[in-house]
Structure 1
């Protein structure tokens, strides 16, 4: 069973707080993996509490890219024993600060993070960013932070892992909406510029994102 809980998004369901940024908790088997941490540690901690998740139960943290709305809340969830995967391009200062508390793993190439969860590796020529690919019985699920390298490039990288089922996260300025046709579930979050157009074009398979959302992916 793979479950994705949206911890931070620009919108929120009742009982949760919104913020400009993104974070989601990925539960697979006995593993709790946090992808990105939003901007505010206070809001991250509050929404995790609403999900009844204690930071000590988070085994792994994966950071997509070094922008404050994706790494700003990190201190609220760091604890001894957690492993933090971040692109090799992150600043030395940032890595050093995290390494005082947790194990840091540099990511350059595609690799497994935990069972059924993979990273695309660093993508992009300017702002480098990694995305996640989740293996589920329904197919591969792509999870993005902001998609600065271009959602097209991320989709192409994710397709090397297997048949694609879903895409979740920030799509940034992505506008080639026809590329989403192959997905059975589309969840545009955070910085996605064309949410209304995506919903209008794919109304039956698009879900509105928000803090507090839970996706059961089989």
Structure 2
């Protein structure tokens, strides 16, 4: 069982701290600590350029040695850095874009309580669902067709989604997807960290209305580092 997750947001459109380089894209290092003390590290997306990924990691004091790299979307700003970095690290990338691939949710290779969450998207976008004692902690990269359209059916089918992190593709004018986040909150969502593809105003709205976890930052973005204990 996952006992603790540490997150380091290494690439994002908006900076949360001084000194990091903001860039359109996403990369999150997930450090999973299991009961018994075993730790596994997942690099969720890489952002477009390895130079920015490595620079921000250095600025934040992060040792970037993941056990596995997970790509959410076949877009340059999500996995572009793989062109010239991490040549020997195992990778789990989405299949090439095809219509209606229909893949079932499956366990991520070699990692207990970590599942690949398949979106309803031509792009075959995929996220991660971590099974925790408090409920599911879901990490998504872009929500390329909007959160509800891309992952809505899967999220509702999971049961209680306790936490939601990543690219939600929401603006403050997007009442449709904001209403969906509200629905998740009514079903037990307590932790929300909106990142890539989410406007500054929407990030603030989601943090104020739907997040009960104190991350300690005025805005969510590149540079957020947090321990989530269960």
| Same-fold status (TM-score > 0.5) | yes
After alignment, is 199-208 or 38-47 more displaced?
Answer: 199-208
The one of 59, 62, 67 equivalent to 2:67 is 59
Distance, in Å, in 2 between the alignment partners of 1:76 and 1:180 is 38
1:151-178 per-residue CA deviation (whole Å, 9 max, x = no partner) reads 2252541454452211111111433242
Q: Which residue of 2 aligns with 1:5?
A: 8
Distance, in Å, in 1 between the alignment partners of 2:27 and 2:72 is 10
Q: Which residue of 2 aligns with 1:109?
A: 104
The one of 206, 211, 216 equivalent to 2:222 is 211
The one of 8, 19, 28 equivalent to 2:23 is 19
SS at match of 1:109: coil
Q: Which residue of 2 aligns with 1:94?
A: none
The one of 87, 94, 97 equivalent to 2:94 is 87
Contact kept, 8 Å, 1:42 with 1:76, in 2: the verdict is no
Contact kept, 8 Å, 1:140 with 1:166, in 2: the verdict is yes
TM-score with structure 2 setting the length: 0.76
SS at match of 2:55: helix
Q: Which residue of 2 aligns with 1:45?
A: 54
1:9-52 per-residue CA deviation (whole Å, 9 max, x = no partner) reads 11221232211111100111321110011122111011222344
Compared CA separation, residues 7 and 140, structure 1 to 2 (3 A) = same
Q: In the comparison of the two structures, how many residue pairs are matched?
A: 200
Compared CA separation, residues 54 and 197, structure 1 to 2 (3 A) = closer
Unaligned 5+ segments in structure 2 are 34-38, 171-176
Contact kept, 8 Å, 1:127 with 1:149, in 2: the verdict is no
TM-score with structure 1 setting the length: 0.80
After alignment, is 131-140 or 197-206 more displaced?
Answer: 197-206
The one of 126, 141, 153 equivalent to 1:145 is 141
SS at match of 2:93: strand
Distance, in Å, in 2 between the alignment partners of 1:178 and 1:54 is 36
Q: Which residue of 1 aligns with 2:167?
A: 170
Displacement of 1:150 in angstroms is 3.5
